[in-house]
Structure 1
Amino acid sequence: MLKITLLATGLAALLALPSAAQNTNSGTDKFAQLETLLPTPNSYRTASGAPGNDYWQQRADYNIRVRLDDEKQSISGDEDITYTNLSPDVLTYLWVQLDQNILDKNSITTATQVGEIQPRMPFQAMDYMQRDGFDGGFKIGEVKLKGGKALPYVINHTMMRIDLPTPLRPKQAVTFSISWRYNINDQLKINQRSGYEFFPDDKNYLYEIAQFYPRMAVYSDNQGWQHKQFLGNGEFALPFGDYRVSITAPADHVVGATGVLQNPNDVLSSAQRQRLAQAQGAKSPVLIVSPQEAERAEQSRAKGTKTWTYAAKDVRDFAWASSRKFIWDAMGIKQGGKNVLCMSYYPKEGNPLWGKYSTEVIAHTIKVYSKYTIPYEYPVAISVHGPVGGMEYPMLSFNGGRPEKDGTYSADRKYGMISVIIHEVGHNFFPMIVNSDERQWTWMDEGLNSFVQYLAEQEWERDYPSRRGDPAQIVPYMRTDKSLQTPIMTNSESVLQFGNNAYGKPAIGLNILRETIMGRELFDYAFKEYARRWAYKHPTPADFFRTMEDASAVDLDWFWRGWFYTTDRTDLAIAGVKQYNINSQNPTVEKARQRELQEKAPRTISQQRNQTAIPRTLVDEKPELKDFYNQYDPLATTPADQQRYQQLLKTLTPEQQQRLGSGLNVYEVSLKNLGGLTMPVIMQLTYADGQQEIQHIPAEIWRKNNAEVSKVFVTEKPVASFVIDPYQQTADTDLSNNAWPQQAAPSRFELFEYQQRAQPNPMQQQSALQQKEQKPLNTPTSSGGTN
């Protein structure tokens, strides 16, 4: 332990003096502002991140008529599109998206897909690579102006350019029509966002239909036409508009869709209409189509068709689902003073999970997301149960999560199903309302949505097992070799490790901002302001970054730069600690301390051995050799010592005298940033008496030296240990260097014999045990609400 001597300048002035190392900054400045990377503000998009006075966006309104062929699993349709040019530009052509063309055997996606042949491969993998016997993609019929004049067009893979006979000037609109057909794909074989599932037991189909019509591309102030090819990962950029869609399906099918049903008298029974009205004010889900009714429909093959007509206002897209297998339940909630009807469509194979949870999860999601963003303004929110994953559309989503055939399920299956519904329903906010460009920036919808999903999961159940939220969950990804990572700010089609990069890392980054850097109050206000500013508009990353700073007065450029634009990782380390005490200058105190240290000092190995090897020294044998110094005690306090001390006290102020005798402990902690990613320093001090204290040091501590700094801590009690980030708030990738004195990280390993067989889930294990004991199993029944 070292002692420091205080001069009249005082301790604060001493600690304010940075070392030479701290006054230099080598390499890239992590705190450089982002102006050179972000687009220049203008009258369309301001420097504050808000839409400017001249902000504009295009509009596309649709009237669609589509027919489902349940025998051939195909779609045919025609549509009228009214496109309104609200830009200041003159347009001589329009771009339309043909997303189904990704399934054409000659698509760019097929041609550029990569893979490796394994000694043993599932049929599904071969089906996907070969596309054998699959005839996918749009077959375009007529493209013509309102009135019948044919329009010339050119198809470039998933994009179609329509050439206008006369330029479309600002504030003008044009109406044209397109007819088309295509074959619906088997989702289990092709693993696409929409398609059909076939149920061999009852020989029925369940259809989840999306990207089913030619859709207008976005034309915007910041990039013109967004006509990047659809390759599979980068999803969609779409303008807002009003939709009226008439869906003709077999007469015994139930059809759910984006928007509000316009002709319930034509397609629903009187009892179903009564149940639907009852559901509006229900506190728990009401069955519109019961399991018994759905099972009867499975066995029927009604002749003829029904046409279901849905209408939706101010949406960017439209999707629908159809099957005679559907159980349908609904429950109404109030949100922002408006009624929202939460509804689920699912086959009996989804029960008991779907009847118990789906609609309740929808209602919960709408409430939580509305709290953290803006009130949900659409009239309905729907979850449809299909065979794979999850996918989102305005007011409607397709979600997986199916129990075993015996009705049991694992905890992973239960929470996975709840999470996917929260996630996909949550997409109504990002990007269906806050309408970012998914084709370019996946993180702007998936990352932001995954973050609010985490908040909703934690409000669903205490300690909900969320996959993406806590910073420690992203550490394994950030530890991987940088050659296997890309910055978040990477085009959607070029991202490596898609789930970690576009979902997990941005979501966890926002949680770090909320919990550690900004604090909940500032973050929540700014995040809500971003949603408010850009609801029903087309934001860019710059608009998000700028709004978060503008609404909080927190400079976050260093965070955006490190977390979003690089693959740097968090690895802060304690390189060393120097401990000091203040020299009180009191000779009685200081000499007593020196005596104590001297007495406690360990004797050298030579001294220890000489104690027995040399029983008597020469001076012991000849006392006459002793002189003054053999009796002198240098640690005894003399009158001269006291006189010098009293003279010193006369030169000090009372405050300085008090500090001189305070007995403060001073620690100089050397910190290193080994991972390159700038982060706040969260320091836990554990005192000798066992008490603990957390000190939050802002990231700006690194502003003059990105690599290493020293920080002085002054404490009244002695510190036993220092630990960086004790609660793992910053995704630190190496905890072994976070403590002084160094602490061993506890871990365990497991020995096992490899076995490749499915293990029964806990419900099945309990069932087997109770059957053995001849006791009934207490499992949920197959139900879907109240009739």
Structure 2
Amino acid sequence: MTRIALLFVLCLTLGGLSAQTENINNNPFRQLYTELPTPNVYRNAAGAPGHEYWQQQADYVMEIRLDDANQRIYGTSKITYHNNSPDALDYLWIQLDQNVRALDSDSYKTSTSRMNDRMSLRGLSRLEPSFDGGFKIDYVRDGAGKPMQTTVVKTMMRVDLPKALLPGETTDLQLKWWYNINNRLTDGGGRSGSEYFEEDDNFLYTIAQFFPRMAVYIDNEGWQNKQFLGSGEFTLTFGDYDVKITVPEDHLVASTGTLQNPNDVLTRTQRRRLEEARDARVEPVIIATQAEAIEREKTKATKEKTWHFKAENVRDFAFASSRKFIWDAMGVEQSDGSVVMAMSMYPKEGNPLWERYSTKAVAHTLKWYTHFTFDYPYPVAWSINAANIGMEYPMICFNFGRVEEDGTYSERTKYGMIGVIIHEVGHNYFPMIVNSDERQWTWMDEGLNTFLQYLTEQQWERGYPSRRGPANKIVDYMKGDKEFISPIMTNSESVWQLGNNAYGKPAAALNILRETVMGRELFDYAFKKYANRWKFKHPAPSDLFRTMEDASAVDLDWFWRGWFFTTDHVDINLASVKPYRINTRNPEVENALTREMQQEAPRNISDIRYAEQEQKTYDEEDANLRDFYSSYDPLETTMLDKEEYEKYLAGLSEEERAVLAANKYYYELTFKNEGGLVMPIILEFTFEDGTTEVQRIPAEIWRRNWKEVSKVFPFEKKVVEIELDPYLETADTDRNNNYYPSRTETNRFDLFQSRRGGGGENPMQRSMREKAREGSNR
């Protein structure tokens, strides 16, 4: 009895929970009040900075020395920290991102690994990190030179202040440090480091995260001191930089900021060429030639030079240095008449690809990103060639793209290089200026930037082979195993498939908003409003969501929820199509139609065989069995039928007669939401005469029933075909249920052929071989 009673109570409890769950509002069109933070004086409900918005500032004066012989960075810095917050601060947090490479780094400890039957020596070596990375801090002092109390917590350092830093006050910190520069290609990769060229025994340095950087203290997070594990990038404070970089005398240096001492570090010829480049608008001017770079490669200078740069209102600082660099530049004119210098540095291993495309890609990016956001506010935009990398910093970025030894390159290399330059230069806008929290929300800069990259690529050439952006490019990811898919609104360090999650899906979502949900004009206005509201500030996801709605009058809560907060996918099923015609009540018309339908209707096998049998039926043998109904034709039009029809017509209103006279075709379409994401319904109708018509139904059709909806479509012509999502604009993951009559799309496959050896020749090499053969046959 006790067990039965317990089971009864348990069933009642579970039943109650089930009923309670069903009574929760799960409508995808419910507002995002519970998901978004409450607006306040710092961030208002329109998505704009509030009337009491504030942000901190950190200014840096640094002296950096690059030790080319030992691959080390030595540095000292003075940080002036401005407390613009309304809070008293007892301590400051500083980011030590180089510590991600320390031998005791959590990045190593938390990386997963497995053994298999075929392990390389390099793979085994990665199980036991040996590179001695991480900052070696010599001291942290206050402005008067007194030692400060510090606590290093992995990739963060807390600096305890002797007294609270009150609102409106500033404090100075002095630091000295050094670290070993990692070889990016042999020491586990990374966003910065060195690249060694064995052929000429030289290094190319792309240096970033090279100094202890102030963490962000912000209204909606407090201190952003989440540990750096390698995926979530950087959250940084704006400030002014005064940086002196000492390098070997024969190196060229590209850097964030404006060069302050060109007379000390550039030759007269280089300075003249640089001035010519400022006026160049079509073709870049070569500042340092390939021949000059080859000469510098042959010897190593023992003396050093100091390059002095200043940068205002930037959130970070990076530089590149090498004796291998070729340098070219051109000017890009802004709407206010100012000129931005688009520039590139690259080794000979990048030519002829880099000399032809890099700086033009920089200029092209500035033009189109400015079109969609705001004028580029900095004096320079650099593109630096480095193997196997794409990484961005204020005014400078590091980009892959190398040619074969014979100077040829594949189509993939060409477009990959142009694409990565557009992407990384574009990062100047997001997040270097629209300064979102990369550590928390990778998608806020990568997704928005990938979207603008796609728009910019399409302005480079028609049919540019963009990897991401259009809705159909994200279909394979969205229809994948949900166990390995995360919502976009997931912290960067925790997501599955970071590239699809933070780059591809947000870019596709924004493109769908622009092309399908909002339209280009409304979207472009709202997106530009967001960019201008938050340039040189720290936006959060809610600021983007709210601004896009506020500036467009389009309720997008359903879209943000589905695309950004869930892993649902799009699969709208054209479940049924029912054609209808009006019963005109005209006996001559309707009877003829009915007779035709009866004649065309399929017959069952028994009826066919009985009609064909030679043996007579009873009524054929005995005529007395036949009566009125034996010869009665219900489809024969009579005088009474005609009179009744005339009476019916006389009783119709003028409007009703017009509908009857139109005699349209009516189609009842039923749609089922199989994937979970509600989306607009786009339909292409093909008529009997070969013409077509596209109808677009807003997503709000699902607002009362988001699982199944029906809608009737009237036409003057007969429909012979219907296609759902004909232009691949909603990321529908199953197009086999998008057709009437039903149609199955054919998937093509390649026959597998075992192949040994490398990848073979690229199309340029093949063309050269073809020409050589033609020449030999003459």
Q: Give the TM-score of the pair, scaled to structure 1.
A: 0.94
Cα gap change, 1:411 to 1:48, in 2 (>3 Å)? same
Aligned-partner Cα distance in 2 for 1:241–1:775? 64
User: Mapping of 1:130-209 within 5 angstroms?
Assistant: 130-132=128-130, 134-189=131-186, 190-209=188-207
Deviations 1:655-691 (A, max 9, x none): 1012123221111111100111111111111112221
Aligned-partner Cα distance in 1 for 2:625–2:105? 105
Which 10-residue stretch deviates more, 307-316 or 113-122?
Answer: 113-122
Aligned-partner Cα distance in 2 for 1:306–1:603? 96
Which 10-residue stretch deviates more, 83-92 or 763-772?
Answer: 763-772
- Given that 1:77 and 1:180 are in contact with CA atoms closer than 8 Å, whether structure 2 keeps it comes out as yes
Q: Which has the higher contact order (CA 8 A, sep 6+)?
A: 1
> Which amino acid in structure 1 is aligned with residue 766 of structure 2?
Q
Deviations 1:5-42 (A, max 9, x none): xxxxxxxxxxxxxxxxxxx9997211111011100000
- Given that 1:25 and 1:706 are in contact with CA atoms closer than 8 Å, whether structure 2 keeps it comes out as no
The Cα of 1:476 is off from its aligned counterpart by 0.9
- Please say if 1:705 is aligned against 2:705: yes
- Please say if 1:101 is aligned against 2:102: no
User: Mapping of 1:528-539 within 5 angstroms?
Assistant: 528-539=528-539
- Given that 1:568 and 1:676 are in contact with CA atoms closer than 8 Å, whether structure 2 keeps it comes out as yes
Cα gap change, 1:552 to 1:756, in 2 (>3 Å)? farther
Aligned-partner Cα distance in 2 for 1:70–1:209? 12
- Please say if 1:453 is aligned against 2:453: yes
- Residue of structure 1 equivalent to 2:46: 48
Give aligned-pair identity as a percent. 56
Aligned-partner Cα distance in 2 for 1:289–1:119? 50
Which 10-residue stretch deviates more, 740-749 or 628-637?
Answer: 628-637
Aligned-partner Cα distance in 2 for 1:127–1:74? 23
Aligned-partner Cα distance in 1 for 2:603–2:166? 95
CA RMSD after TM alignment: 1.6
The Cα of 1:601 is off from its aligned counterpart by 2.9
Aligned-partner Cα distance in 2 for 1:118–1:97? 37
Deviations 1:701-721 (A, max 9, x none): 111111111111111111112
Deviations 1:152-194 (A, max 9, x none): 1111011011111121111111111110000000000221000
- Residue of structure 2 equivalent to 1:410: 410
- Residue of structure 2 equivalent to 1:230: 228
The Cα of 1:128 is off from its aligned counterpart by 3.5
- Residue of structure 1 equivalent to 2:328: 329
- Given that 1:154 and 1:160 are in contact with CA atoms closer than 8 Å, whether structure 2 keeps it comes out as yes
- Residue of structure 2 equivalent to 1:596: 596
Aligned-partner Cα distance in 2 for 1:271–1:201? 29
- Residue of structure 2 equivalent to 1:118: 116
Which 10-residue stretch deviates more, 116-125 or 642-651?
Answer: 116-125
- Please say if 1:762 is aligned against 2:769: no
- Residue of structure 1 equivalent to 2:442: 442
Deviations 1:330-356 (A, max 9, x none): 101102322100000100001011111
- Given that 1:259 and 1:310 are in contact with CA atoms closer than 8 Å, whether structure 2 keeps it comes out as yes
Structure 2: any 5+ residue segments left out of the alignment?
1-21
- Residue of structure 2 equivalent to 1:694: 694
The Cα of 1:624 is off from its aligned counterpart by 5.0
- Residue of structure 1 equivalent to 2:482: 482
Aligned-partner Cα distance in 2 for 1:251–1:775? 50
Q: The residue matched to 1:460 in structure 2 has which SS?
A: coil
The Cα of 1:86 is off from its aligned counterpart by 0.5
Q: The residue matched to 1:527 in structure 2 has which SS?
A: helix
Q: The residue matched to 1:554 in structure 2 has which SS?
A: coil
> Which amino acid in structure 1 is aligned with residue 743 of structure 2?
Q
- Residue of structure 2 equivalent to 1:10: none
- Please say if 1:431 is aligned against 2:428: no
Cα gap change, 1:359 to 1:683, in 2 (>3 Å)? same
The Cα of 1:580 is off from its aligned counterpart by 1.1
Q: The residue matched to 1:234 in structure 2 has which SS?
A: coil
- Given that 1:523 and 1:552 are in contact with CA atoms closer than 8 Å, whether structure 2 keeps it comes out as yes
Aligned-partner Cα distance in 2 for 1:528–1:191? 36
- Please say if 1:275 is aligned against 2:273: yes
Aligned-partner Cα distance in 1 for 2:221–2:330? 42
Q: The residue matched to 2:269 in structure 1 has which SS?
A: helix
Aligned-partner Cα distance in 1 for 2:610–2:517? 60
Q: The residue matched to 2:662 in structure 1 has which SS?
A: coil
- Residue of structure 1 equivalent to 2:542: 542
User: Mapping of 1:619-768 within 5 angstroms?
Assistant: 619-623=619-623, 625-757=625-757, 758-768=759-769
User: Mapping of 1:33-112 within 5 angstroms?
Assistant: 33-112=31-110
Which 10-residue stretch deviates more, 758-767 or 86-95?
Answer: 758-767
Aligned-partner Cα distance in 2 for 1:34–1:734? 29
Which 10-residue stretch deviates more, 607-616 or 720-729?
Answer: 607-616
- Given that 1:25 and 1:704 are in contact with CA atoms closer than 8 Å, whether structure 2 keeps it comes out as no
- Given that 1:336 and 1:376 are in contact with CA atoms closer than 8 Å, whether structure 2 keeps it comes out as no
Structure 1: any 5+ residue segments left out of the alignment?
1-23, 777-787
Q: The residue matched to 2:279 in structure 1 has which SS?
A: coil
- Given that 1:26 and 1:705 are in contact with CA atoms closer than 8 Å, whether structure 2 keeps it comes out as no
- Residue of structure 2 equivalent to 1:18: none
Aligned-partner Cα distance in 2 for 1:682–1:363? 37
- Residue of structure 1 equivalent to 2:264: 266
> Which amino acid in structure 2 is aligned with residue 111 of structure 1?
K
- Given that 1:26 and 1:706 are in contact with CA atoms closer than 8 Å, whether structure 2 keeps it comes out as no
Aligned-partner Cα distance in 2 for 1:25–1:740? 36
Deviations 1:616-643 (A, max 9, x none): 4444445454333334322222222222
> Which amino acid in structure 2 is aligned with residue 503 of structure 1?
Y
Which 10-residue stretch deviates more, 664-673 or 311-320?
Answer: 664-673
- Residue of structure 1 equivalent to 2:518: 518
Which 10-residue stretch deviates more, 318-327 or 161-170?
Answer: 161-170
Aligned-partner Cα distance in 2 for 1:306–1:127? 38
Aligned-partner Cα distance in 2 for 1:484–1:574? 28
Aligned-partner Cα distance in 2 for 1:484–1:265? 56
The Cα of 1:240 is off from its aligned counterpart by 0.4
> Which amino acid in structure 2 is aligned with residue 151 of structure 1?
M
- Residue of structure 1 equivalent to 2:3: none
Aligned-partner Cα distance in 2 for 1:110–1:460? 41
- Residue of structure 1 equivalent to 2:571: 571
- Given that 1:44 and 1:51 are in contact with CA atoms closer than 8 Å, whether structure 2 keeps it comes out as yes
Which 10-residue stretch deviates more, 638-647 or 65-74?
Answer: 638-647
